[in-house]
Amino acid sequence: MVAGTLLLLATNPSGFILSLTNAGNKAITFSLTLAGIFCIWMGFFKIMENAGILEIIKKPLKPIIKFIFGKVDNKSEEYLATMLSADVMGVSGVGTASGILATHNLVGDKEVITYAAAMLVVLNASSIQIFPSTIISMRAAAGSTNPTSIFLPALITSFATTIFSVLLMKLFWRLFPPKNVKL
């Protein structure tokens, strides 16, 4: 890669600089577009929180949270519900703060990984999404003629990876329980 860049720079310096400048402009425009979309979603979730809608969402998520994470305290449940709501809407970045708070709450001062904290990492890695809004926004910002065409494949993939991840985590935690894994 370095050799190719140096060769391009040596053979066509003006084309190289022009391409570099154009790519930089596109990257900045793309980043600002995504930042705007991200801010809108963050505001939307803040409004939901202030209006008590997250409490309403938390109720049907309670049995799912219990099945996936086991018995967790009420505050962790609230953080997990907020994080899962954001993940399901495809704006997992919005739920990051709640995920961090949930992790701190689940681990506490034990300084060893708990089942619920490990499951949280696995669930975040599997990326459950019903509506992949970030990807659709990225495709729209990049000029896609049909940015929502990925909806069904993303939905199927999301459910498959999440179910597989949760089941594997449950299986491996039972077969190979960790012995005081330090954080």
Q: What is the pLDDT of residue 139?
A: 87
In the chain, the percentage of residues whose pLDDT exceeds 90 is 12
Which range is most confident: 5-14, 54-63, 163-172? 163-172
> 136 with 150: CB under 8 angstroms?
yes
Query: How far apart are the C-alpha atoms of 108 and 183, rounded to whole Å?
Result: 11
Q: What is the pLDDT of residue 181?
A: 64
Collapsing DSSP to helix, strand or coil, 182 comes out as strand
pLDDT digits (tens, 9 = 90+) for 80-97: 888 888 777 767 677 777
Please, what is the Cα angle at 144 between 140 and 148, to 5 degrees? 65
